[in-house]
Amino acid sequence: MSVAEDYRLKGTTDEASLTIDGAEHRLPLLKGTLGPDVVDITSLYQDSGTFTYDPGFTSTASCESKITYIDGDKGILLYRGYPIDQLAEHCTFLETTYLLLYGELPNADQYETFKQRMTRHTMVHEQMNRFFTGFRRDAHPMAIMVGVVGALSAFYHDSIDIRDPKQRDMASVRMISKMPTIAAMAYKYSVGQPFVYPSNDLDYSANFLRMCFAVPCAEYQVDPVLARAMRRIFILHADHEQNASTSTVRLAGSSGANPFACISAGIACLWGPAHGGANEAALTMLEEIGSVERIPEFIRRAKDKNDPFRLMGFGHRVYKNYDPRAKIMQKTCHEVLEAVGHKDDPILKVALELERIALSDEYFVRKKLYPNIDFYSGITLKALGFPTEMFTVLFAIARTVGWIAQWMEMIEDPMQRIGRPRQLYTGAAERQYLPMEDR
Ligand code: SDX
């Protein structure tokens, strides 16, 4: 049972008080397992005729969830209660997927069954190949992902009735298992190489690397160090509470839209440079800085209110401490650069020096701006062999698991209703039409 349901049934003695125009409104205070309490304002407008106002949702809980917990001040990230560093170290990506979707780590039988289900759905309908030929070869792969993923709803009519739990589960398995295949096809299309079919003999991460980098004229052996890095990167990016793209998926899903369309909406939102597009932007920024000597110039620009430039890969709405994922990304970055023989990559030197300077700079310290997950992921993904445009696509592959888990939780929540925010209207008051000749 949800806390909100529990409160509806039993009430609560914990309350907040809000006085508007002299009238006191007592609002329930709901307590979660961890993190801030919430003031339940569901009845505020009905009781007071007043809305609350929070355009960036900096102080607003949009839902109740049991999936992911973030403590931004302490730099803590838990998936279903398990610390992210333990999962990144010990879990496979499908084990983490099972945990996020169903709430518990799988035992050996559950894991085997789940893995077989996922493996059986990695192929896409052969006709989907034709979607790609409609795009220019230099189309951004995120544009292709938005289009092709949305089009899945045209192929899988037997799993789009969201009221049917079996269809929801089938659509979830299909979505998660097909994302790497579609992403690899987008990459192959961009480099003019033939698509590589998934292999049932490889795990999720190794299969993706092979679909991206194998060619028909040579055997492709997946480097275990790179496969481990890919697995960790997928796990780190899998979910992150109610971030912008997850909130997009929840809002789209609240109207009853099919899961493929909801995930396509999440991909579109993730593409933004302030969100998932930051990994691409962070590497572009590091390459623009180019050398350690130019770092002070860019630090100055980042602090200049009149300059829109920001240090990409720095800062976070929730983390006011080091993003725990960034630490693991930095470690993975070193391992991959070592494995591919680029341990002296000049861009890594710029990144490490930029981080050192920024973390000691009064502006960044005062504003609690630390490296986030995107700061080191770009260097790592480039060393893995991906072009910059593919970075956010990889983020989308992993985040599809979180989007699906959050979407399932929302659909199954008995308190769920269509999301329909209101506004503070400051436009023109009512006025009468004026014929053009009189204007
Ligand atoms: C992701 O939400 C999630 O969980 C997202 C994510 C996930 O897993 O889903 O973690 C993934 O999106 C990580 C964030 C990737 N984005 C970037 O790295 C882009 C650069 N970062 C910024 O655009 C910014 O920090 C945000 C968007 C991440 C957070 O923006 P907020 O919370 O709205 O903070 P803000 O923009 O109001 O900034 C607060 C202050 C501002 O100064 P003042 O107006 O108060 O004077 O800090 C400054 C900003 O100017 N600031 C920066 C900065 N980020 C914030 N100054 C320089 N460089 C930066 N990167």
10-residue averages of pLDDT along the chain (439 residues)? 71 86 95 95 96 96 97 95 98 98 98 96 94 95 96 86 90 96 97 96 97 96 95 98 98 95 97 92 93 94 93 91 92 93 86 90 91 90 94 97 98 91 97 97
pLDDT of residue 175: 96
Residue whose Cα lies nearest atom 35 of ligand 1: it is: 317
Q: Which amino acid, residue 382?
A: K
Say if residues 180 and 122 touch (Cβ distance below 8 Å). yes
CA 202/CA 196 separation, integer angstroms:
13
Q: Does residue 73 carry a catalytic annotation?
A: no
CA 51/CA 54 separation, integer angstroms:
10
66 ligand 1 Cβ < 6 A:
no
CA 77/CA 73 separation, integer angstroms:
11
Say if residues 401 and 94 touch (Cβ distance below 8 Å). no
320 ligand 1 Cβ < 6 A:
no
CA 142: distance to chain centroid?
A: 14
pTM: 0.93
Q: Kindly give the number of the ligand 1 atom that is closest to the alpha carbon of 313.
A: 18
pLDDT of residue 123: 96
pLDDT of residue 11: 65
Rg (alpha carbons) of the chain, rounded to whole number: 24
Q: Which amino acid, residue 315?
A: G
In sequence order, the β-bridge partners of residue 386 are: none
Question: How many angstroms is it from 58 CA to the middle of ligand 1?
Answer: 12
Residue whose Cα lies nearest atom 16 of ligand 1: it is: 274
pLDDT of residue 6: 74
Say if residues 384 and 13 touch (Cβ distance below 8 Å). no
279 ligand 1 Cβ < 6 A:
no
